[in-house]
Amino acid sequence: MPVELLQQMRPWLEKPPLWWDPILWDAVGYFAPSRKLLHESVTAGHLPLWNPYELCGTPFLANIQSAVLYPLGFAFWLWPPEVAFGVNALLHLFLAGFFAYLWLRVEQVSRWGAVLGALIFAFGGWSTAWLELPVFMQTAVWLPLALCLAARQATQPSALNTALMGAVLGCMLLGGHLQIAFYCILGAALYTVVRPLFNPGGRVGPGIAKGAGSFAAALVLAVLLASPQLLPSAELARYAHRQDVPTPEAYSAFVRMALPPQNLVCLFMPGLYGSRTRGDYWGYGNYAEYALYVGILPLMLAGLAVLRLRRSGAVAAMLALEAVGLLLALGTVLNRPLYFFVPGFAKFGMPSRALVLHAVAFAGLAAVGWDELVQRRRTVFGLVGAAAVLAFGGACWLVAKLCLPPQLVSAVLAAQSRDDWLRFLLLVGASGAVVGSVGSAHARKLGLFASGALLVLDLWSCGWGLNPVGPRSSLFPKTALTSLVGAASPNWRVMPLNPEWPLRRTPKGVLPPNTASVYGLYDVGGYESLYLRAYKEALNRWHGRDTSPLTNGNMVTPTLLGSEMLNMLAVRFVIAPGYLEYPGRLKLVGFASNCAVYENTGAHPRAQVFTQASGQAGGARVGWEQASVAPQKGDPNRVRVKLHGRSGKLVLRDVWYPGWTATAHPSGRSVRVEHAEGLFTAALVQDSDSEVEFAYRPFSFKAGLFLGFLAVLAIGFVCGYSAGVKKEKGFLAD
């Protein structure tokens, strides 16, 4: 957990800004607060469907990246984030290697070759770069297991393989990252279709047809299994801010974020553009988005795997995975049909995330190449492999020089490349020696040991420092600021001012989006992959501009100090990184934790009852009185509002969304939930009502649970039946 980034921000400011990485910040600023809400809710006996702490209320489970229902996300249920992140990372690194090992063993790869492939996938550049963000590995680790089942189906077709494939694809969909899940499912489908094409002695046509039919059935099972997540997410997508229609202009912007050609050199020299944690990264985009390093020895071994192409369907399928992954990541024309014809694809992030296919394919190719090396036993492979890697690495370095501006080439690339060329040459020489020694009968055992040691050393030196850590106590400690404004919860909100969100330096803000929720504070801003369009449009109207930073459309950072908006959103405290030059009607309360705190004394409470009373002229005038909101810690799906025995319209200044119900107490009367002021939630109350309980019970989630239950029954039946048949056959054989 990169807590050092937190310590560079107010109110936790402990050290001057040294380096900044927006993707690593997401681990602290997005995933840690959401996983804290998940942990607190589950330990209190509730499944969090709603998040009341940000954006004036927003769906929680329906946001794919919450991964509430992911089967192996139990670490976040059992432990707080400061412990769970480490447990979850260790578990999925192990699974990445274990599933890759199983896949390669099914493909008849030797034990040592499978171990090398497992190490390459689990600890290669892609996995290491994304380790801090749990949803990436939670989704990607299942791809090798899907390939394992596809290989089994190609050689031993059975309903059991289909059912297990459905379960695996379902885990991908529940893992928390829909784009990575899409690429993994695409890769598994491609592997299923291509592998039978090169089956020696097999009938190609029927093999492909059976494989495709089995995969289609598995995909249906997977969608049903993931329905408790997918149906609420589909409902949220209808109301969410991402409503982009695929257009040629949008497609051009999408492919501009692809892997640039000059970054192909990072396949050979991963540190050429600097390090994200040293503060000297100067390459295009973000380091993690273009992480494609797999090691120098695997590059040589993968070349040997091509020698098996004519007699191995697995190698052909691996090469297809590698080609499609790289071509998609590079922004080629392969993206066009997906962008315009696959529903939802246009809402995905950068195309370079297809490098997950490259990471898995290269692990497989290197493992097969190892077996080819051991089988052929030719020392010349070491010299040829070293020469080939040198040639390709040099060519990519020249491409980088040609693509970059001349001033960068002379001032930065030249200085950076000296160390990287030295590392590259040393690894090429060592890898060539290892490959040559395996081909020699006298040094084969030494070569076996040296290959593993060299690979570990290579990947370790590449990944060292990319995953910063820190003391657990440094993750969201108590501060004077959060204690000062804590009086606002749960009846009022706060508005931290974060006017900018740069990508290359530490933002000069305070309590960045989502972090206020850790302290039980209700924030008008927020950070979600999907949030409610109606709320964003209301904020934009008040501001007269887009309230998201130019660099991140998933953030909402309101900064308007006008009384109308602040009062309507129940903002009691405005928190600024310094004194405000024009605070308007805000009253300075104090200065805490390097932040200035201003109070909005005219703020409406979060819940209020509007009543009608007779006027002096016989007419009616509308008044209101405050209603009290009970704390929601542990149960974010319910809002209990204490009343004072007056009939009228109860307005809860949480954004309206379908799925909310209301019950009046003590009568237990069901109350219809309405819109209020075009944005908020409301219900009509009577004099006899002492409390109204709002509960979020979306039908989409209930329907998804039913469909998911059916999928579990189907998978369980197939597995049980297959086990019974196998046992019966064994009994008859005996």
Task: Please report which confidence band the pLDDT of residue 201 belongs to, taking 50, 70 and 90 as the band edges.
Answer: low
CA 380 to chain centre: 44
Separation of alpha carbons 118 and 145, rounded Å: 12
With both helix axes pointing from N to C terminus, report the angle between 81-106 and 355-376 in degrees, rounded to the nearest 10. 40
Separation of alpha carbons 112 and 297, rounded Å: 14
Q: Phi and psi for 348 in degrees, rounded to 5? A: -75, 170
Separation of alpha carbons 718 and 725, rounded Å: 10
Task: Please report which confidence band the pLDDT of residue 388 belongs to, taking 50, 70 and 90 as the band edges.
Answer: confident
- Flag whether pLDDT at 221 surpasses 90: yes
The answer to whether the CB of 693 falls within 8 A of the CB of 665 is yes
What's the Cα-to-Cα distance from 436 to each of 335, 378, 380, rounded to whole Å?
40, 7, 6
Residue 581 tokens, joined:
């030059």
Angle at 62 between CA 60 and CA 68, to 5 degrees: 70
The answer to whether the CB of 437 falls within 8 A of the CB of 453 is no
What's the Cα-to-Cα distance from 232 to each of 280, 445, 722, rounded to whole Å?
42, 56, 33
Q: Walk me through the domains of the chain, giving residue ranges and CATH numbers.
A: 1-33+479-489+496-604 (no CATH), 61-235+243-463 (no CATH), 607-697 (2.60.40)
Q: Which residues contact 20 (CB under 8 A, 6 or more apart)?
A: 5, 8, 279, 502, 504, 505, 506
Separation of alpha carbons 280 and 481, rounded Å: 33
Separation of alpha carbons 505 and 8, rounded Å: 11
Q: Which residues contact 101 (CB under 8 A, 6 or more apart)?
A: 114, 115, 117, 118
**Confidence at residue 660, expressed as pLDDT on a 0 to 100 scale:** 95
Side-chain-side CA neighbours of residue 281 (13 Å): 27
Separation of alpha carbons 108 and 331, rounded Å: 34
Task: Please report which confidence band the pLDDT of residue 407 belongs to, taking 50, 70 and 90 as the band edges.
Answer: low
Separation of alpha carbons 173 and 230, rounded Å: 8
Task: Please report which confidence band the pLDDT of residue 208 belongs to, taking 50, 70 and 90 as the band edges.
Answer: confident
**Confidence at residue 379, expressed as pLDDT on a 0 to 100 scale:** 64
Task: Please report which confidence band the pLDDT of residue 734 belongs to, taking 50, 70 and 90 as the band edges.
Answer: very low
What's the Cα-to-Cα distance from 598 to each of 174, 219, 574, 590, rounded to whole Å?
42, 54, 5, 7
The residues facing 603 across adjacent strands are none
> For tokens 């009852």, what's the residue?
609
Question: How many residues are present in the chain?
Answer: 734
Radius of gyration, alpha carbons of the chain: 29
Residue 728 tokens, joined:
């019966």
What's the Cα-to-Cα distance from 365 to each of 113, 147, 304, 532, rounded to whole Å?
10, 13, 8, 44
Separation of alpha carbons 9 and 4, rounded Å: 9
Closest by CA position to 35, among listed 517, 413, 578: 517
- DSSP strand pairing (493-496 vs 571-576): parallel
- Flag whether pLDDT at 417 surpasses 80: no
**Confidence at residue 275, expressed as pLDDT on a 0 to 100 scale:** 82
- Flag whether pLDDT at 7 surpasses 70: yes
Residue 58 tokens, joined:
């927003």
Give residue-wise pLDDT tens across range 324-375: 999 999 999 999 999 999 988 988 889 999 999 999 999 999 999 998 888 8
Of 9-23, 134-148, 233-247, 457-471, where does the model show the most confidence?
A: 134-148
Region label for 311, one of left (φ > 0), alpha (ψ between -120 and 50) or beta (otherwise): alpha
Percent of the chain with pLDDT over 70: 92
**Confidence at residue 436, expressed as pLDDT on a 0 to 100 scale:** 81
- Flag whether pLDDT at 533 surpasses 90: yes
In terms of C-beta density within 10 A (0-12 exposed, 13-18 middle, 19 or more buried), how is residue 487 classed?
Answer: exposed
**Confidence at residue 618, expressed as pLDDT on a 0 to 100 scale:** 46
Separation of alpha carbons 373 and 628, rounded Å: 74
Q: Which of 48-62, 66-80, 447-461 has the lowest mean pLDDT?
A: 447-461
**Confidence at residue 289, expressed as pLDDT on a 0 to 100 scale:** 92
Q: Which residues contact 665 (CB under 8 A, 6 or more apart)?
A: 689, 690, 691, 692, 693
Residue 630 tokens, joined:
């009970």
Average pLDDT taken over every residue of the chain: 88
Percent of the chain with pLDDT over 90: 60
Separation of alpha carbons 521 and 534, rounded Å: 22
Closest by CA position to 112, among listed 352, 301, 337: 301
Separation of alpha carbons 573 and 586, rounded Å: 9
Q: Which residues contact 583 (CB under 8 A, 6 or more apart)?
A: 561, 598
Beta strands in 513-659 (DSSP E): 526-527, 555-556, 571-576, 587-592, 595-599, 607-614, 620-626, 628-629, 638-642, 648-655
What's the Cα-to-Cα distance from 618 to each of 426, 610, 614, rounded to whole Å?
94, 19, 6
The residues facing 161 across adjacent strands are none
**Confidence at residue 409, expressed as pLDDT on a 0 to 100 scale:** 60
**Confidence at residue 494, expressed as pLDDT on a 0 to 100 scale:** 95
Give residue-wise pLDDT tens across range 252-274: 999 999 999 989 989 998 888 88
Residue 529 tokens, joined:
């992959």
Angle at 656 between CA 650 and CA 660, to 5 degrees: 80
SS in 3 state form for 114-153?
Answer: HHHHHHHHHHCHHHHHCCCCHHHHHHHCHHHHHHHHHHHH
Q: Which residues contact 725 (CB under 8 A, 6 or more apart)?
A: none
Separation of alpha carbons 693 and 247, rounded Å: 45
**Confidence at residue 733, expressed as pLDDT on a 0 to 100 scale:** 46
Sheet holding 571-576, edge to edge: 493-496, 571-576, 595-599, 587-592
Closest by CA position to 297, among listed 141, 113, 95, 102: 113
The answer to whether the CB of 637 falls within 8 A of the CB of 696 is yes
Residue 437 tokens, joined:
């020694």
C-alpha torsion sign, points 155, 161, 166, 168? negative
Q: Which residues contact 286 (CB under 8 A, 6 or more apart)?
A: 21, 22, 23, 276, 503
- Flag whether pLDDT at 235 surpasses 60: yes
Helices (H) and strands (E) in the chain, counts: 26, 18
Separation of alpha carbons 14 and 2, rounded Å: 14
Q: Is the peptide bond before 512 cis (omega within 30 degrees of 0)?
A: no
